[in-house]
Structure 1
Amino acid sequence: MTIRPIVRYPDRRLAMPARPVTAFDDGLRALAADLLDTMRAAPGIGITAPHIGVPLRVVVLELDAKAGPQTYVNPEIAWASPEMIMHREGSVSMPGVNDEVQRHARVRINYRDLDGIPQTEESEALRAVCHQHEIDQLDGVFWIQRLSRLKRERLVKKYEKMSRGS
């Protein structure tokens, strides 16, 4: 288990779609463990393999310490509710800034666990937001692309200013 360097916005690797995982082996388990350690150190509640420069469809979420972490391999949204919610989002790749993003209130995802066994999960509220946010990242859609142009430009300027330390 290792804390890996996080790819920072505007690195173009964050805009590249990730490849499906085909090998469900010890390498995948090690990647998931590194993602968990890296996410906790960031700190964050969700992370994808592309956040650490690995172009594979792997997500780790930990929304509740009691429930523990969950790893999603090759997740896809199978259904999304017509109801929408607003939720404040940010990214481990763009620390220190966040904004309200509109997402589906509920989703159903299909994914594989670390053993390659197909799974389905229905979620709502924060977990549904996280599923959509992280699957977007796997598709090469960075969360700020969900903002209006004006909000996105303001947020990027704020982030750049923070990154310069001014």
Structure 2
Amino acid sequence: MADQELQELDPADIEVSPPPAPDPEVMARRREALKRVRKWGDPVLKTRALEVSRFDDALRTQTEAMGQLMDDALGVGLAATQVGLLQRLFVYRVVQGAPLNVLVNPVIEWSSKDEEWLEEGCLSLPAIHVDVERPVHVRVSAQDEWGEPLSIEASGLEARVIQHELDHLDGVLILDRTPRGQRKEAMRALREALADDEHP
């Protein structure tokens, strides 16, 4: 459409569709899932998780349950510490419908000097979004839920999700990585959000 045609349009002729209303069933599932995620203030979120040494059916059942919880909560990643388990593992899925990624005992072997700031949220920090600077590319070694070795090279959103979840395993939250001004503002909003949850 040319500029001249744009100028001739009456704003009243332009229809703006409202965003689709969220599915009530999906949102109800999300609310229930979030009740099972540990929130800011829980000591487990500030504790370093322990290496996993047993790769058994219980571990595989646990990772499957974490994947379901993450999906129900509409998240893209979930660390074991967020469900109260001090184990070095997390699950993630950055593309809807893709297989669930399970990383056990993950270690970042290399990260790029190229970094970028992007806004991040967290299932453990309701209603909070803050800017966090992270390397754009990473290479990670880990094990899968069967104990088999994995090596993953990730960029963009996948790299960011991996680093975010690995931070959880070290007791580090996005509030620890955001600029001081944003941190103060976010903590005030977080206290209000958590108070609202306790007294609906």
TM-score under structure 2 normalisation?
A: 0.78
The equivalences for 1:42-121 within 5 A come to 42-121=73-152
Distance in 1, Cα, partners of 2:35 & 2:124:
12
Distance in 1, Cα, partners of 2:176 & 2:36:
23
Q: CA deviation at 1:4?
A: 7.7
What is the SS of the residue equivalent to 1:97? strand
Range with greater deviation from structure 2 (2-11 or 150-159):
2-11
Match of 2:159 among 128, 131, 153: 128
Counting aligned pairs with the same residue, the percent is 30
Contact kept? 1:63, 1:69, Cα under 8 Å: no
Q: Which residue identity lines up with residue 140 of structure 1 in the other structure?
A: G
Distance in 2, Cα, partners of 1:133 & 1:124:
13
Aligned residue in 1 for 2:42? 11
Q: Root-mean-square deviation (CA), in Å?
A: 1.7
Q: CA deviation at 1:150?
A: 2.0
Aligned residue in 1 for 2:8? none
Match of 1:139 among 170, 182, 187: 170
Contact kept? 2:78, 2:90, Cα under 8 Å: yes
Larger Cα Rg: Structure 1 or Structure 2? Answer: 2
Q: Which residue identity lines up with residue 68 of structure 1 in the other structure?
A: P
Aligned residue in 2 for 1:152? 183
Q: CA deviation at 1:164?
A: 2.1
Distance in 2, Cα, partners of 1:4 & 1:109:
31
Match of 2:192 among 143, 161, 164: 161
Distance in 2, Cα, partners of 1:88 & 1:7:
21
5+ long unaligned stretches in structure 2: 1-32
Aligned residue in 1 for 2:59? 28
Q: Counting helix residues as a fraction of each chain, which structure ranks higher?
A: 2
What is the SS of the residue equivalent to 2:185? helix
5+ long unaligned stretches in structure 1: none
Q: CA deviation at 1:132?
A: 0.7
Contact kept? 2:131, 2:179, Cα under 8 Å: no
Distance in 2, Cα, partners of 1:123 & 1:43:
22
